[in-house]
């Protein structure tokens, strides 16, 4: 997932291994009693009720008992209404079960304790979600691109699956799943599963996910969705208004898959399709297996932002195939994914572009490192009961990537590629924590090639704050030219029309804007805007960078465009910092007015963050 927030630091408990699934000795964010019983398969039978903004039906758990004396199943829930619970004995008879739904915890939700008279083979929970479900967003037709049908989608990472499924909501366990989903006849539903049954839009859809995944990767979407293939292995589901543009933008997806197969082993999930979500989607993307969820803000018309597709695809190896055991190990998902993403971009689009993208991300990381507490900059996080959504920042993504890049540079790409490919193979369909990874790293790389990288250096990267003094610092020769021309303009020795910007890529524009003096004069901003019309750019990333500079300098001319930007999209990375900047620079009332107009179209995760600014 592409995400922005604040991080914390930690060291972890050991794990137990069961049938290829790592089970955490303790996941502080789950009530599940995995030591006694584990769900091996989930079946969902749900109606999507747009009028009530609810999923209604049942979930059936197939159970594997680890403790022969236990007769209790504990599940994670949040804001669910439980109707009844039934269990099926070994002889096939269904019985009603007693249960207790505990008081809601602010972070973890409500513990659901199910008491059984015997060790059940299956348990069914009949329930419905509520409109306030943190893992679902319900959009009216007017809030969608096509304006014709309502839209609903899930966002289960990190612990939001429990808001629409009673489940053992921890990444340390894995389940297969199947589903029957019913919708109005003119609505198509899709899931992170085999979607071959949804080609005909009839309101009754069947799904099957044969590979075991962690619960946060169970995903659903439903709306006015059309379908078009890009290749034998890839397709796009999208509202008609954005389908063809998305096909053109992401036509290199198959090439990305083929290149990654050669580097890190065969893609394990069959198809790799994309679901284009409404602009309110709070993230860049979400790596749901077989069906990545994608923001329309990356449909720029020139493939300049397709690194996001490379990132979500990379999760098919790091995250989906090999998974962090708890959210305090997030860097194992996101650091590896950011590293693999950049390798994909290098293979498909060349080294210059890959280094430019690295350089921009590292600059963003360094900026964030200056703003957050030192303890929050440690890779091996310590959440101490905080919401795991707080774990998402540049630290697990980019510091994690830099650590792996450091290892690559020290050992050489040839040796490091062998290590990474074998790591993915050895932990395929398993979860692990940071301590286990360090053991694996020491055995298969550090000790195998002694005298290159010390264990102390590994520990510095993982357990110490900030960046080591010898951390890689990717530098783009292309950006050096931009810097020279920018400095010449600032010194008055050249004009704006002599910068050579006619051939600039998005990355060069971002570097240019981000390296303008933060106290640049209003007059200079007017000149830049007159020359390049940045206020009216249709590229969401460039607009964000320009608006951030404008807000900080009081450049009022951006206000109409900024209003449109904040109202038209819900991607947290592109709106939350702008709201914060507006509040900081004495535009709170104006920002609040925009927010109240836009709020109903934002995802609950974005609402929660921005609500706090205006309390």
C-alpha 126/C-alpha 129 separation (Å) is: 11
Residue 566's closest CA among 279, 295, 153, 284? 279
Token pair belonging to 400 = 């994690």
Helix (H, G, I), strand (E, B) or coil at 212: strand
Residue 138: phi, psi to the nearest 5? -110, 125
Which helix (H) or strand (E) is 175 found in, with range? strand 175-182
Q: Reduced to 3 states, what is the DSSP secondary structure of residue 435?
A: helix
Matching residue, tokens 């055991």: 325
Burial (Cβ within 10 Å: 0-12, 13-18, ≥19) of residue 140: middle
Q: How many C-beta neighbours within 10 Å does residue 589 have?
A: 10
End-to-end CA distance of the chain: 29
CA distance 210 to 223: 25
Residue 133, SS3?
Answer: coil
Check if the beta carbon of residue 82 is closer than 8 Å to that of residue 127: yes
Active site residues: 312, 397
d(CA 581, CA 552): 7
Three-state secondary structure call for residue 209: strand
Residues 437, 380: Cα–Cα separation, whole Å: 11
- Residue 359: phi, psi to the nearest 5? -60, -45
Contact in structure between 319 and 287 (CB atoms under 8 Å): yes
- Residue 23 CA to residue 557 CA, distance in Å, equals 55
What are the DSSP calls for 183-228, one per residue? Answer: --TT-EEEESSB-GGGSS-SSEEEEEEEEEE-GGG--EEEES-EEE
DSSP 396: I
* Residue 562, number of CB atoms within 10 A of its CB: 25
Handedness of CA 24, 337, 579, 238 (dihedral sign): negative
Among all chains, which residue has been given the structure tokens 């020359």? 531
Coil vs helix vs strand at 100: strand
Q: Rounded distance, CA 302 to CA 248, Å?
A: 9
């Amino acid at each position: 997932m592409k995400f922005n927030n604040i991080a914390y630091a930690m060291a972890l408990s050991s794990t137990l291994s069961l049938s290829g699934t790592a089970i955490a000795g303790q996941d502080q964010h789950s009530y599940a009693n995995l030591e006694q019983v584990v769900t091996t398969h989930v079946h969902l039978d749900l109606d999507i009720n747009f009028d009530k903004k609810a999923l209604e039906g049942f979930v059936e758990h197939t159970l594997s008992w680890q403790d022969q004396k236990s007769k209790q199943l504990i599940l994670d829930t949040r804001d669910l209404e439980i109707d009844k619970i039934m269990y099926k004995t070994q002889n096939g008879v269904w019985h009603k079960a007693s249960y207790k739904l505990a008081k809601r915890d602010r972070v973890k939700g409500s513990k659901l304790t199910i008491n059984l008279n015997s060790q059940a083979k299956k348990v069914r929970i009949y329930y419905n979600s509520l409109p306030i479900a943190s893992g679902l967003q319900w959009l009216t037709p007017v809030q969608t691109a096509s304006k014709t049908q309502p839209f609903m989608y899930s966002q289960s990472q990190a612990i939001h699956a429990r808001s629409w499924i009673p489940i053992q909501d921890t990444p340390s366990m894995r389940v297969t799943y199947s589903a029957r989903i019913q919708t109005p006849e003119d609505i198509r539903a899709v899931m992170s599963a085999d979607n071959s049954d949804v080609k005909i839009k009839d309101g009754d859809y069947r799904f099957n996910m044969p590979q075991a995944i962690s619960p946060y990767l169970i995903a659903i979407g439903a709306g006015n969705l059309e379908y078009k293939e890009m290749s034998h292995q890839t397709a796009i589901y999208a509202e008609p208004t954005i389908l063809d543009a998305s096909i053109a933008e992401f036509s290199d997806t198959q090439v990305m898959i083929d290149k990654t197969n050669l580097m890190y082993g065969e893609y394990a999930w069959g198809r790799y399709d994309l679901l284009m979500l409404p602009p309110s989607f709070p993230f860049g993307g979400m790596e749901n297996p077989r069906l990545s969820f994608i923001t329309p803000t990356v449909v720029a018309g020139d493939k300049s932002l397709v690194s996001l597709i490379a990132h979500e695809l990379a999760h098919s190896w790091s995250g989906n195939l090999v998974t962090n055991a708890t959210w305090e190990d997030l860097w194992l998902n996101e650091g590896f994914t950011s590293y693999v993403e950049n390798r994909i971009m290098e293979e498909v689009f060349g080294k210059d572009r890959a280094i430019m993208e690295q350089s921009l991300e590292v600059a963003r990381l360094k900026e964030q490192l200056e703003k957050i507490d030192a303890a929050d900059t440690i890779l091996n996080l310590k959440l101490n009961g905080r919401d795991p959504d707080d774990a998402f920042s540049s630290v697990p993504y980019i510091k994690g990537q830099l650590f792996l890049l450091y290892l690559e540079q020290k050992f050489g790409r040839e040796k490091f590629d062998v290590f990474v490919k074998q790591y993915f193979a050895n932990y395929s369909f398993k979860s692990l924590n940071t301590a286990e990874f360090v053991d694996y790293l020491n055995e298969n790389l550090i000790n195998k090639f002694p005298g290159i990288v010390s264990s102390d250096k590994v520990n510095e990267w993982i357990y110490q704050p900030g960046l080591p003094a010898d951390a890689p610092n990717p530098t783009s020769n292309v950006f050096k030219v931009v810097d020279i021309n920018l400095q010449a303009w600032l010194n008055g020795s050249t004009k704006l029309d002599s910068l050579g910007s006619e051939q600039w890529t998005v990355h060069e524009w971002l570097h240019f804007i981000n390296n303008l003096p933060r106290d640049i004069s209003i007059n200079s901003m007017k000149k830049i805007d007159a020359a390049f019309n940045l206020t009216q750019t249709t590229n969401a990333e460039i607009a964000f960078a320009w608006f951030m500079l404008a807000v900080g300098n009081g450049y009022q001319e951006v206000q109409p465009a900024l209003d449109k930007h904040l109202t038209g999209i819900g991607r947290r990375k592109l709106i939350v910092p702008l709201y914060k900047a507006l509040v900081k620079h004495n535009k709170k009332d104006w920002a609040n007015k925009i927010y109240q107009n836009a709020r109903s179209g934002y995802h609950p995760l974005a609402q929660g963050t921005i609500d706090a600014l205006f309390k």
